[in-house]
Chains A and B, each alone.
Chain A
Amino acid sequence: MIRIEHINKRFRKLQVLDNVSASFTKGQVVSLIGPNGSGKTTLIKSILGMVKPDSGKIYVDEQLVNSDHTYREKIGYMPQIGRYPDNMKIGQLFKMLQNIRNTPVEKLDKTLIEKFELEKIFEKPMRTLSGGTRQKVSAALAFLFNPAILILDEPTAGLDPLSSEILKEKILVEKKKNKLILITSHILADLDELTTHIMYMQEGKMQFFKDMEALQEETGELRLGKAIARIMKGEQFNNEWIDKMLEIKNDEKIY
């Protein structure tokens, strides 16, 4: 569904994406993880066409990104920091996007609007909202148009435990509908029950792309957090382990 071929991006002196290639298909819940500044958000923004890579190609459903904008109809995006027009009221924001997307009302997915009880605050202007409420609005917007691909950048950061749980449940529901879901998060515990594949990035490079079972098997850790922590610590044992994994990866034709 999404194919990324050798993309590079440089911001002045900093190489943010260094020859990244990957391929995601539907039914996968891919967790994009890596330290701060490893290029996760830039990768996501490249898929959305918000950041223009210096070289390389990205395809969404065989449609080349940056040649046409219609592919974005298939994507629901929840940004890391949702920034919205200050003067706009929440209700207006939803109405405006429905207006622009032109999706028939019966196809809209209003579950999150209802569960987060956003209708009660439809009259509030965006500038008065707290960070958490903004996150709820962002989440509700991403799921509203029932897209085949969901891209969630740090979805649970800033949400209270209850809302976080609501969002996770919703992601599980969508996962069962055979959608492609891309998540970045630092809260690895949140990803444990959702994720099917892990993509690990460091300094703009993709270190590996594995499915969950293989990762559990090879690290001997059941929890995602512990498995990844081992890699991030960079112990000798684990470095070898990464090398081994990279060899396996080539055979698996991930590129």
Chain B
Amino acid sequence: MEGEVMMKLSKYVLYDILRSKIIIAYTLFLFIVSISMFQMEENSSKAMLSLLNIVLIVLPLVSLVFTTIHYYNSYEFIELMSSQPMSRTRILLSEFGGVSISLLSAFLVGVGIPVLIFSADATGFALLFTGMCLTLVFASIAFLTSVIARDKARGIGFALLLWFYFALIYDGLVLLILFSFSDYPLEKLTLLLSALNPIDLGRIFIMLKMDVSALMGYTGALYKDFFGSGTGILFTTGIMLLWMLLPLWLAVRKFKKKDL
């Protein structure tokens, strides 16, 4: 019965999102970019590399900003629902459900279909897997920041700051650490550091499925050993799941105590 109510609510959330047409524009954008990548590059693995960068940079950004804006735009809806016989947890999870379904479908249509047509191999599936994970991870993070920040401007600012951190600043910090301590064996540490940033984790996971990993020397070989194995896949999936569930859980906890 509760689950049924949640589905109904998610349906209305989805309906509302589709009405706004932004998600359709996003799907088209991804589709056109993916197709043109495959058309421009002779070699499909080169195209995959370009596509990888899109997935790693654009996806988290869109996921964060779209989710944040959606949350603030649905504030009235959330308010209305909270005066109805419905638990706060269900309300937030239905919102999350609606947003993730729409973002995931945009990704699967926009990137999934071209990849399946032009490059349906292990690398292709790794890219789709990573893209789906990143979409959900950053939607979940955006829910947490939106529940915490009181107004829209702050919420979006917060989301952008997080994107800068994960997509740009974090790599710089890692490089700094690696250079400063280059006399020590750092393979284990870099492995740990990659787990602390879902974008990095995704990048390593896909890169190792590509031929380019041969160029990465000893560290690359070590990574290939780890990420290529069953434990590696389990590790990636586990860490990604943690990145999805932890922010969402914190968001629900915070939301339950919030004054509307």
Contacts and interface: CB of A to CB of B under 8 A. Distances in A.
B85 A51 contact: no
Interface stretch (B44-52, B71-79, B235-243): B71-79
Contacts of A51: 259-260
Interface stretch (A96-104, A108-116, A194-202, A242-250): A96-104
B8 A84 contact: no
B74 A77 contact: no
Interface string B33-65: 000000000000000000000000000000000
Contacts of A70: 85
A134 to B, nearest CB: 11
Contacts of A52: 257-259
Contacts of B260: 45, 50-51
Contacts of B86: 69, 72, 100
B84 A99 contact: no
Contacts of A72: 83-86
A72 B87 CA distance: 10
Interface residues of A, number: 26
Contacts of B84: 72, 97, 100-101
A249 B81 CA distance: 37
Most buried by B among A45, A51, A87: A87
Contact of A50 (B74, B82, B87, B257): B82
Interface in A170-197: none
A84 to B, nearest CB: 6
B82 A49 contact: yes
B121 interface: no
A220 interface: no
B5 interface: yes
Contacts of A88: 12, 16
B198 to A, nearest CB: 31
Contact of B8 (A49, A69, A87, A100): A100
Interface in A32-49: 45, 48-49
A161 interface: no
Contacts of B20: 87
Interface string A63-87: 0000001111101010100011111
Contacts of B188: none
Interface of A: 45, 48-52, 69-73, 75, 77, 79, 83-88, 96-97, 99-102
Interface of B: 5, 8-9, 12, 16, 19-20, 73-77, 79-88, 257-260
